[in-house]
Amino acid sequence: MFNEIHEVPDGLECPKIQALFLQKNSPLVIPDKFFQRMKDLKVLDMGKISRLSLPPLSFLINLRTLRLDNCFGLGDLSLIGELGRLEILDLSKSHISEIPVSFRQLAQLKLLDLTGCYVLELIPQGVISRLCKLEELYMSNSFHHWQFESEEDSRSNAKFIELRALSRLTSLHTEIPKGKILPSDMSFQNLTSFFISIGVSSINSSWAVIELFNRKFKRCSRALWLMQRIAALHSWIKNLLLRSEILALVEINDLEHIFSNLANNGFNELMFLAISGCNEMKCLLNSLERTLRVTLLKLEWLMIVDNRNFVEICHGQLPAGCLSNVKRLDVAHCGSMLKILSSHLVQSFQNLQRLTVESCELLVSVFEIERVDVAKEEIGLFSSLEKLTLIDLPRMTDIWKGDTQFVSLRNLKKVRVQDCNELRQVFPASLGKKAAAEEMVLYRKRRDYIHIHATTSTSSPTRSLGNLVSITIQRCGKLQKLFTTSMVKSLVRLESLEVSSCPTLQEIIMDDEGEVGLQGASTEKITFPSLFSIQLWDLDSLACFCSAGSHATTEFLALEALLIIDCPSMKTFGYGDQLTPKLLKGVKLEGGEYRWTGNLNHTIQQYVYNAKKIREKEPMKSGISSETTSSNTEN
């Protein structure tokens, strides 16, 4: 291990030593006879040595484990072939261009790791098939020059069918290039762990997604990345597909939905599913076409990207429990979608924690919660949602379509809305209001419906938006307000608020509309106990932060950073007293300067007055300059 050793003696008298760790010592020079008296050595680690030239290894007749990961300049690897009892060989991320023929002699080898050997071009034919005791073979981001049927290779590279000879193989990580004619009869029934990519290479745009999910789903051991026509799939591929925990279907043009010529049942082991560039796909599931025996009960993350004809997640009703464990949903560049979650899907996504929707040009709404009839006691729809991100949705008019009084966003922590020019509201006025309900009936198509009974709770309900920590709103051209006074009471954990480039936004907090006892009334106090930072940028119509009555007091107990830039219509920060005990540096304005007069409203009013005087003087200066120029011209 790392201890700044750069050279070792010619030889050591250590006949009993069993393990030697020399890793992370760069550069390191090892004499030819260094291992001569270490015949009992079983574990040798020389990994992460940037300039290492292998010394003779023939003395190590009992060596079982050899680690040479992240090494450069290894020299002659054929020396490793002399280690007849070697069981574990790690060459991952090392700079090697070919595997020597002598590796055929490693008949006891159980694990070979070639992960990340980017320059590996040659594995001679017959080497893989001779490793008859091999149990684990790792070749991700590495060798992809397999030779297939009817192919000729002047360098005699390894044939993919050599893997048939490895009857003990339980773990396989490898890549198969696009356009290859795959063998019809591979025996992979014994695989308990696999990461296999068919047709998706590291230069494909989907590869970044692959790397992301490999990191996120480390607990998963079976992954398949498929970029091949469904009609050409052999039975061994379908078998792997149905056993996968991670599945990515990429640019498959004969796939209408995931059961179209793919499987009649299965997919019940899936934890992550990505659909990318499958332009014939209109829906993920179609329950009207066939009875779905799939449940997808374990699915946690669903990603739908770059599918231009994709319309909806499910055409028809979902089977009971289907998609009920999905915690994260990402939808991007799906140009035919009008909404993300229709009314008949809402109950199935009650465990959803993160939702990201981006660049869906026809999308009108995100959540459709129409046809919901509730009486007595609140039902907390979307109560698990923690993060909501909506970007570049030019036609979206509503995030929430329908009656939102039974939507509970009590666990929502982060909201980001950007480039949604038709959006009128982020949080509807009725969101989170308490309602008495004893039974909720969600009507479906035809005449069937679901009854969901809610027990009456004696404890006080958790406030909607009560866990919201961060809000970012950018470039929403029709947004006029952000919160109502009743919503603000729930924002006890809000720490950061950023609003920019919303030209029609008039105020951040507006009095509740259409409510008896609130409309036009003065709110006694509004408190933000945790709000640390407020940034208001480029808001042409913003008149004030809050208009909750002339006698209302607004308390910003934690506010330390307030930035206001290019808000020409702002006349005051709020009506009533504005208490900011921690705003010691003042308000940051144009040019990075800070202003503070001891009172937030007075600071804004003075700044507005000074800015107005400057604007009034500019035309006068311009007129004087013009007259002077004219006079000089005449003279």
Tokens read off for 66: 């050899």
Question: From the first residue on, what is the mean pLDDT of each consecutive set of 10 residues in the chain (635 residues)?
Answer: 72 86 85 90 92 88 95 89 96 95 97 95 95 96 86 78 94 89 86 90 58 67 86 85 89 80 69 91 83 78 94 87 92 95 88 96 92 52 91 94 81 92 82 37 31 31 72 92 84 93 91 46 76 95 82 89 94 90 92 90 86 64 51 48
Q: Which of 215, 98, 230, 82 is nearest to 156 (CA)?
A: 98
Tokens read off for 59: 């003395």
CA distance 298 to 293: 14
Encoded amino acid at 150, one letter: S
Tokens read off for 492: 């006890």
Residue 317: predicted pLDDT: 83
C-alpha pair distances (Å), 164 with each of 159, 168, 169, 176, 193:
10, 10, 9, 15, 16
Question: pTM of the entire structure?
Answer: 0.83
CA distance 354 to 414: 9
Give the phi and the psi of residue 192 in degrees, each rounded to 5.
-105, -15
Tokens read off for 349: 């996504």
CA distance 79 to 10: 19
SS3 annotation, 558-601: CCCEEEEECCCCCCCCECCCEECCCCCCCEECHHHCEECCCCHH
Whether residue 80 contacts residue 57, with contact meaning beta carbons closer than 8 Å, is answered with: yes
Residue 566: predicted pLDDT: 92
Encoded amino acid at 620, one letter: M
Residue 189: predicted pLDDT: 84
Residue 3: predicted pLDDT: 63
Whether residue 158 contacts residue 125, with contact meaning beta carbons closer than 8 Å, is answered with: yes
Residue 402: predicted pLDDT: 84
Annotate 416-440 with b (16+ C-beta within 10 A) or e (fewer).
Answer: bbbbbbebbbbbbbbbbbeeebeeb
User: Where do the domains of the chain lie?
Assistant: 480-635
Encoded amino acid at 407, one letter: V
Tokens read off for 374: 């509730």
Annotate 64-83 with b (16+ C-beta within 10 A) or e (fewer).
Answer: bbbbbbbbeebeebebbbbb
**How many other β-carbons are positioned within 10 Å of the β-carbon of residue 588?**
16
| Residue-by-residue DSSP string for 300-356 | -EEEEES-TT--EEEESPPPTTTTTT--EEEEES-TT-SEEE-GGGGGGGTT--EEE
CA distance 561 to 284: 46
Sequence-ordered list of residues with C-beta below 8 angstroms from that of 621, at least 6 positions apart, any chain: none
CA distance 105 to 108: 9
